[in-house]
Structure 1
Amino acid sequence: MILARDPDPGQEVEFSILSSTVNATNYFALDSTNGILSKTVEPHLDYETNLKRFQIVIAARTRGNMSLESCTGTITVNIQNVNDEIPVFAYLPDAPIHIYENLPLGRELIKLTATDRDIGDSVHYEFVGTFKGFSINDDSGVITISQPLDYEDPVIPHSWILKIRAYDNDRVHSTTGTVTVILQDVNDNLPQCTQNLYVIEFPENIPIETHLVSLICTDQDGTDPNNNITYHLIMDKFSNETFSLINNEIKIGPNQLNYDDFVFAGMQFKYTLFVRVSDGGNPKLSTIITIILRVIRINELNPIGNMPAFTFSVPENSAMDTLIGRVVFTDADWPFNNIKYTIDGGNLGTHSKFYIEPNTGMIKLLDSLDREVQAQYKLTVRVTDINNDIEPDPLRQRSSAVLVTINVLNINDEPPICNPPHLEKIIYAPAKIPFLQLNCSDKDSSHKALSYSIIRGNTNNWFTLERPGVDPPSLATTKNFQHDVFRGIQEPTTFQLLIEITDELGGNKASQLSTTTTVIIHMLPWTTPQPTTATKTTIATTMTTSILMRISYYWSPDNWISSVITITSVLFLMCVYAVAWCLFKDAPGCSRFFPNCHQHQMNQPSITTKEIIEIPRNIDSLNCQQKSNAKPILLPGNENVATIYDGRAIDPVTGKQYLFNSQTGEVMMLN
């Protein structure tokens, strides 16, 4: 540009810079000839670093005339800003950025900073391309998580190279950079199993090592150890030795399943197992699997007794329903001891004499016992378990048998018995050897346990009982009798001895029983007188026998027995009365009760002689003849034994005992 000219034509003007802003001459040059001010090549003007205004004072004078005054002028140069700068990133990380998959949405990963030296120009940011899961703020350059990042999601990559562009306002200048992001796995997935609850049923007798269940579990975490699964069996003390876990399989053992247990009953007969399935992450994540094993009970055990055989004893006079003993068995199958007792066979008697309570095993008496008939019984008791299966199954019932021996204890309840009950014997005086042996026995006692004594009619001890061994004794006369009594005997004489036989010799006197037998002895003289007439007569001897019994101990009957005896006694008395009525129905009424009454008999002939009767069949025949009205001579002590009592009765009310004559009806009270 021309800054000045000389008013004289033909004069050249020379230009020069007198002064300027600092460093202005570095950026501008003045042509001294033509006065053109121009920009130098170097250095460049930089609006952002240099002055924004330069002032240059220029002087103009005529060339060659240094003495002439010059004129001056000031030129102001204003620098204009031009968008000539490229944005520059202040920081880009060289190393990859590692992020976890569980970062929340909006989480800041990095903040990028880019600068533009152009004054008043701002920088903006953007991705070059599309990166799913990330977003960048175009003003601040902050990169954040825009959607969940799942390491296990196959559509989401595990690493990214993010390309970022920084540009100025007019998008005239821009620059790019890259950031590497690597996604890291996080243990954020629980182990997943195909089934979290198992309900299984097995019988209690299932073999050991039986496979119970196989667990199938996975972990969706993509890296080890996050997806490394381990199994841990959780059991209580009761189940500790019953189940085992190997890898992912649960088996029975080392102990057998056992349904028959009180503790197991409290657990409602089921095992509850827990398996913890864990991964190897930090922290570990776990899933619990529940296994319920219901055990089915099986009747697998036989009832067991506490002894191989049972032996009981019972007195023979025991009443019905007497407890003899108890058979005790146990059954270890649940429900415990749920067993039934039955008598399966054995020596029960003609009518079953025993029964057993099915629930308790108590053996009781069903009928009366008699040791003299049978002293021992052997029973077979069958013990059967019941309801030991889930559903009753008679074919699977188990049973055991045991031998029960019942010994009948002897009780002295049978008095001695003599056969025949009374004896008659004809002997000649003086007899010196045993002339009559008694025949007595006792069902309760042996021969040697019986004792004999003469309790009545043995005047002056003229008779004795000789017993050299254990057999019944023999009746013999003593020396006193032979020398004193029969030295001058001329007529037959009758003796009546009452002999008492007692059992349990040497035993308890309170329990001894006794009976009596009557022995009638007809003693004939040494010589027999001859008859003086031709009339043949026979001895008409009135012989009487009596049977007396002294009771030392008697059995007290039950009430029903007394009733039976009472009814029997009444019937018997009615029969006696009927017989008496038949015999005396034709006799005068007064004579039935008063023998000396002779009403209406004045015209009947009186009987002055007795009918001749025959001697009983067990009396020896007599070859001598006596007068028909001859009476036997009775020694002192035998005068009042003419009445024969051949029956005995018991009053059921008072308990008193009576002897009676079945022919005459005469009664004598014993106690």
Structure 2
Amino acid sequence: MCAAVKRTSCTPLAPPWWTGTAYRAEGEALHFLHLPATTSIAENSPPKTSIHKFAVNLSASLAPVLPRFPLIINSSPLTEAFKVNTLSGTDFEVVTTGKEQLDFEIGPNIFDLQIYVKDDMGITDLQVLTVQVTDVNEPPQFPGSLAKGLNFYITEGENPGFIYQFEAFDPEDTSRNIPLSYFLVSPINSFNLSANGTLFSTTKFDFEAGFNSYHLTVEVRDSHGLRASTDLLVTIVNINDERPYFTSPKRVYKIPEELSVGTIVANITAEDPDDKSFAYFLLYSITTVNSYFRINQLTGTIQVAGRLDREASGLRQNPTISLEVLVKDRPSGGQENRMQISFIVEDINDHPATCSQYSFSVLVPENTAKGKLVLDLRKFCFDEDLEVPNNKFNFTEPSGVGSSGRFSQDPAGSGKIMLIGDLDYENASNLAAGNQYTIIIQVQDIAPPYYRNNIYIYIITSPQNEFPLVFESPTYLFEVSELNPARTHIGQVQAMDKDFPQSQVWYSIATGGADLQYPSVFWINPQTGELQLVTPVDYETIPVYVLKIQATNGEDKSLVTVTVNVLEKNDEKPICTPHTSFMAIPVDLKVGTNIQNFKLTCTDLDSSPSSFRYTIGPGNINSHFTFSPNAGSNVSHLLLATRFDYIDGLDKIWDYKLLVYITDDNMLSGRKKAEALVETGTVTLNIRVIPHPTTIVTTTPKPRITYQVLRENIYSSSAWYVPFIVTLGSMLLLSLLGYMTVVLAKAICRYCKTRKHTKTLVKKGVIKNTKREVVVETIQMNTIFDGEAIDPVTGAVYEFNSQTGARKWKEPSSQMAGWKESST
């Protein structure tokens, strides 16, 4: 070996190399110690088994030199079963790696390992280590993965029988002819192993009834008693052959109403006998259709899904909700089970006492007796809760303005409001309270949380008709002058009663107060009772009126007699007929003669016939005319008092218009006139003096005068109604212009003027050479009379012309007839 590394000598280094200082002899080089060499190792040695130790001799140098790590650079045959480990700086050993099995029976059995080393100086050495694999008597072995153990799976419910065939081998028996024996180290009744290695099951396995897995140790032995073993884990495979069952013992749950949505009310649990450890594989559902609950399909918790109102129609009659819960061990095609559960919804006090109204207005008569029931609140209030005490309530004591001492609750808390005080409307203390009382009462639950509501009661005292309606006086006497105009205040009546408040009294005339001309002579103010005239009264017609005045206040009626005396007044003018007259008398009429037998007849409603006095006013020139008698009678005649004297020139007019005054103040009548009032009537007389044909009008020579009388039909100025009618006709003409134009045209066609014969009075012995002078008086006659009326004084009917005012009597009186005679 020294020659192999070309050393000059094989003397060890001195001093030793392990001292830390290397002294190399002259001519020495790096080389292995104890190599080359031959060694052996038993087959199947475990990894890191030491095979051979060697050292490295360093080269000589002034400085220490360390070898680099020795390496196995080659092996024959090739193998990775060996490697070099360092023991110290220069000591090393060869060990097994375990990467390859050193099996004598398989081979190779000899390995030549080339070990190489090199130091820092670049000096190298290479030696060979021969490793001999020696044969060892090995125990039997299980092949492959069987040696590490096996896992077997047996489905539950399978029939007993063959499970597995074990086959081991003996490494020493290359021919495989040496028999091996198999044993179960710990026999289990459910399994049996034959000597040739056949494993059998002896029972039918139930996953839910027994063990879920079995641990078996199988041992094999050779003829030398060497043995080997392997482990078997037999797992019973669970199949879905069992129905799940419910483990929650509770079937009936009592829950309060009005739980919020999502509240957990039950926790349904179940187990699957097939696999109790995997409960989350179970699925839960509710098969009953309902709107109250839902279930978590994975956990089985039941939650509130809808409102639980015990008072609602669905739960009012039957508060029990029955559900069917289904549990399944797989979504489809699995085993399932069902269970009935019930929820009893219990009533809670979730409703306050409720009233159909919370404000009451009660009208109580003032004369209501004490102890009278005013209002029973129980009839208006209720509680929707169904069970006691949740549906029970009461009422607090009443309070409020003016109610103290007048109202109470009897019995307490009953809601029955009783009258305990006085409500008399005429009582001053009640009047101070306004006869209106406010009661405040609370309706409240008797169970927590004691809901309450306010109730307001307004009690109004209604007045009663306790006293009759009475006039202040049992009778009334009033006086009114017949001269008083309409709307004159006569007097006032007044009625009242002692009831409070005072009601409005209305007055009316029940009977009386009428005459032939007016249905209502009096008017009474319906609110004040003031009596007034509607039209003036007339003593001469009705001197006394007896009225029945009625008073009413809506409840009572009362009548009183009212006497109205009409005070007599001289308010009537004398009315005489004829009211106007036309007369003609001869100039030589004898004094004292009743002119044309003219008679004036007068009447006065409030004066006696003896009270008349006759006076001729303007127009009685030279006092030619007088009345006889001139006083003390209602009939008087017109007489010629003095003669006419035209010859001497004393009289100059021929036509007299007399205005006659008739008064009712004749003191000779012996009658005392009321308040010395005098009324005067008037009559108009037209008198024409007719000269005698032989009468000489004048003594001095005068021109001859011819009198031509033309008569004109005129109307009297006292005919006041003529212009009124003319005005009315004019208004009608304006509104009906077209129609009146035609009428007017016809009237013009028929219009004509008439002239009557004119007589000329000529003085006897006419003086010659005297110029004749003619005096003409014309009276126009209009023969068109388109209207008809009644004279208010005489009552005679006359016709009139609506345009000119001319009129004529339709049936002429005797005076008119005499006038016509004299005029002709």
TM-score scaled by length of structure 2: 0.33
- Larger Cα Rg: Structure 1 or Structure 2? 2
Which structure carries more relative contact order (alpha carbon 8 Å, separation 6+)? 1
